[in-house]
Structure 1
Amino acid sequence: MLKIDASLPHWDSHNDDERRQHMAIRVTASRLLAALVVLTSLPSASALGAIIALPKYNVSVEEVSVSGFSSGAHMAAQMHFAYSKTIRKGAGIVAGGPVYCSQGNVAISVGPCMANTGSRNLPYLMSVVNTWSGNGYIDPTGNMSASRVYLLSGTIDSTVRQPVMDDLKTMYANYLPAANIYYKNNLAAEHAVPTDFFGNGCSVNGSPYLNNCNFDTAGEILKWIYGTLNTKNTGTLSGSFINFDQSAFWGNFNPGTYSMASSGYAYVPAACTAGQACRLHVAFHGCLQSASVAGTAFYQNAGYNRWADTNRIVVLYPQTIATTNNPGGCWDWWGYEDVNFPGKSGGQMVAIKTMIDKIVGGNTAAPFTCSHWYASNYAHVANGRAYIGTDGQVYAVNSNQYLGYYLTTAYTDVRRTSAGYYAYGSCS
């Protein structure tokens, strides 16, 4: 199986002391992150009817983009880098930081990567990204050259300090033309998604982390990524919200294993429901901002739907839940559940990628099952489970996940779904 950078910790499942230490670190990480914000529980999201299977829509892979806030900002950047073959249009990042900023270390995640206490060692982070790009742990970074990226950091953000976002801008500038990057860094906003119609005062740092700053962040992100758009709908939306089954993207795994809710949300304009050509934007909420904590606030009032409605954009709102390891319901950007959190093989990463595949291509395959083969890459290729890429290395059929070198003595655990979708990794 693919091994990522040596700086990532390797946990020996047979070493009880090490496993207990790992659990303690993961729990501490999430509690420290959650402690930086005030937990104010709101009513749960209102029912949207029966939970349904996520539909396929008439969306081209050329029209896929992502954005996110706080932990969702890290998730959006991770997805953009890891799956740049799929997320081609670009990304919007609000109060995030460089990819792999945490290095899987709680002290780094809450220190240099949030409070700006100490160096993030940006040259090292970019060297790791370059290594991953070369060995297939993430897609080649060259795919991002035509992407457009919108960055926003509030000048009074007391949770994720502005120098952290400055480093993300520098990182992106290493892979994108300067003209493709817009950095909004002069808005006096606290740690929240600024809107022009909903939320707390702009200087508030508190639930639901949507602040009315008379600034339309969602609109600016979508306009920067997609270019000129039709005027947003400020009245009654023409489309509808769906509550879809997220567990379908986990095969016979419990989505809670990776702090994923059993269902997620999407806003679908009427034109997209009718089969017209549409775009796809994936919006990641932040910590303490999932529907289980903040109700409908983020997926109904972050501002995306007004623009989506008049511009044929399906907006996907994946959802996390709070767990023992992750009491804030954050997206995994420091390794609280998965040492592979920033790569194409990360549990949350694969789940979201498969949701995108379902919307774009109609693939119904779940990435995780326990029907698997433990064999050499030579055997996987010989039996049609994998293929040799143009770089001479081996990739799983349909999922295109990197398996490693063709001629090797190592063995790779490759799983197969009923739809014939292959991905590597052990069942647990």
Structure 2
Amino acid sequence: MRSTAWSAALLFAVCASAAADDGRGLRRGGNPADVSISGLSSGAAMAVQYAVAHSGSVTGVGSVAGPLWGCAEGSLSRAVNACLCGRGPLPATLDAARRLAADGAIDAPAAGLPRRLRRAYLFQSPADETVAAASGAANAAFLADFIGHPPEIDRGNARDGSDRAGHGIIAPGPGTDACTVDGRETNFIRSCGAEDNAGRMFHALFGEGSGDAPGRRIDAIPESEIWSFDQRGLIDAARVERPSIADDSLNVFWIPTTSPRRRNLDMADRGYLYVPPSCRSAGSACRVHVALHGCRQDARTFALRAGYNNWAEAYRTIVVYPAIAPGQSLPGAVCEAPPLSEAVDAAWFEPNPNGCWDWWGYLDTASRRGRYLTRAAPQMRVLDAIIAAVTAPRPD
């Protein structure tokens, strides 16, 4: 349950965001009882973290090429070596979720408050070179135990080669990377024939679609229909209690410092939004789906090409694309490098060079280890504010 102070901060952020977007408004009157979330890679990890922490309000979750929930246990070396590259045992994370629920740090089923999270979809290519198959399989098993039945699992197929796809989200259409790894990846949105992760996901999370457009994919969405919104007021709301945030750099005297990017919780100034035509009128009360990009991805490109918008009208769903600020984008595939030394876990600063969502705790100081999995996590609180805004009544 949110505190009164946090609820007031959310209300302030909603009102502030309405005056700071591109004029169309983040307040869309979406249905607060029908909110789901998904993501790619680190976005998939964050999507599952958010859904698990808010299982009393989120209805469905999608994970595309994501690692096991809670796998990193606050350790960057474990995140890379075990959770991504399969170099080590994976933890039994269901017990960790139960402990967090018992402590009140995440939603817990209680009398009169049943768990709303009931549907899940996972895509994991066996040829993914970034997230080990074992980590993806463990994530599927975790979700099956957590929601009480197996999620829909998509491993691609041999007909279009999607079972050999490299790390990324698969969407038909132009401007995408090759299906298999070729070393020329630019956006990690891959084309593998007719395979369509967003379409499969929405069917798994929502069913057959609306009565007037069952299962119909719209092939082309004009770029002008992807609206932007200002995240800065929403980020400020997440900092209302001034939680301690880990430094992310060193100055010339080798003293840890906090960059402006880190003060913004590593989030970008602007996020993106697609409102299908049937959801633009007052009182439409459409579903809301939050879609999170992955590391080293441009958020606007993800919003344009990842395939969600093409299905939004069929499922009467507003799609929101929160954004992380880009990093320096270190070159090369992470699992081609030697194992990461545990010495990095003792560092005085916590960088995020590839612009990832916080799925290993890079925002947490030593005294706040494990916060990143809870409702109190700073980026989780920004997502709270975004969802509160898009489900707020339209101002007209």
Alignment RMSD (CA, Å): 2.4
Does the 8 Å CA contact 1:51/1:243 hold for their aligned counterparts? yes
The residue identity in structure 1 corresponding to 2:208 is T
Return the offset for 1:248. 1.1
Q: How far 1:240 sits from its partner (Å)? A: 2.3
Matches within 5 A, 1:21-420: 51-52=22-23, 54-88=25-59, 90-122=60-92, 125-140=93-108, 143-144=114-115, 147-178=118-149, 181-186=151-156, 187-198=163-174, 199-204=176-181, 206-214=185-193, 215-229=195-209, 230=214, 231-236=216-221, 240-251=225-236, 256-257=262-263, 258-275=265-282, 276-291=284-299, 296-322=300-326, 325-338=351-364, 339=369, 340-362=371-393
Deviations 1:102-160 (A, max 9, x none): 001111100110001111122xx211110111121011167546511001101110110
- Secondary structure of 1:218's aligned partner: helix
The answer to whether the 8 Å contact 2:58/2:117 transfers is: no
CA-CA distance at 1:166 after TM superposition: 0.5
Aligned to 1:300, the other structure's residue is in SS state helix
Letter in 2 for 1:74: A
Q: Indicate conservation of the 8 Å contact 1:246/1:264, yes or no.
A: yes
Deviations 1:341-379 (A, max 9, x none): 111001100001111011113599xxxxxxxxxxxxxxx
CA contact (8 A) 2:57 2:117 kept: no
1:175 aligned counterpart, secondary structure: helix
Q: Larger relative contact order (C-alpha < 8 A, sep ≥ 6)?
A: 2
Letter in 1 for 2:31: S
- Specify the code of the residue in structure 2 equivalent to 1:139: D
For 1:285 and 1:335, how far apart are their aligned partners in 2?
18
Structure 2 SS opposite 1:178: coil
Preserved CA contact (<8 Å) 2:44 2:66: yes
Closer/same/farther in 2, CA of residues 259 and 236 from structure 1, 3 Å limit? closer
Secondary structure of the residue aligned to 2:323 is coil
- Identity of counterpart residues, as a percentage? 29
How many residues in Structure 1 have an aligned counterpart in Structure 2? 308
SS at match of 1:315: strand
Q: Quick one: which amino acid aligns to residue 280 of structure 1? A: V
Query: Which ranges in structure 1 are unaligned for 5 or more consecutive residues?
Result: 1-48, 365-428
Matched to 2:68, the amino acid is P
Deviations 1:289-347 (A, max 9, x none): 133xxxx3211000000111333211000001135821211000111122421110011
8 Å contact 1:285–1:298 — kept in the other structure? yes
1:128–1:363 Cα change, 3 Å? farther
Q: Is the 8 A contact 1:239 1:267 kept in 2?
A: no
Contact 1:147 1:176 in 2 (8 A): yes
1:201 partner SS: coil
Q: How far 1:260 sits from its partner (Å)?
A: 0.5
Residue aligned with 2:372, SS: coil
CA contact (8 A) 1:155 1:188 kept: yes
Distance between the aligned counterparts of 2:33 and 2:171, measured in 1? Answer: 28
Calculate the TM-score normalised by the size of structure 2: 0.73
- Judged with a 3 Å threshold, the aligned counterparts in structure 2 of structure 1 residues 131 and 236 are, in CA distance, closer, same or farther, namely closer
Aligned-partner SS, 1:130? helix
Q: 1:305 to 1:182 in 2, by over 3 A?
A: same
Which structure: greater strand fraction?
1
Q: 1 CA distance for matches of 2:221 and 2:64?
A: 27
Residue of structure 2 in register with 1:27 after alignment: none
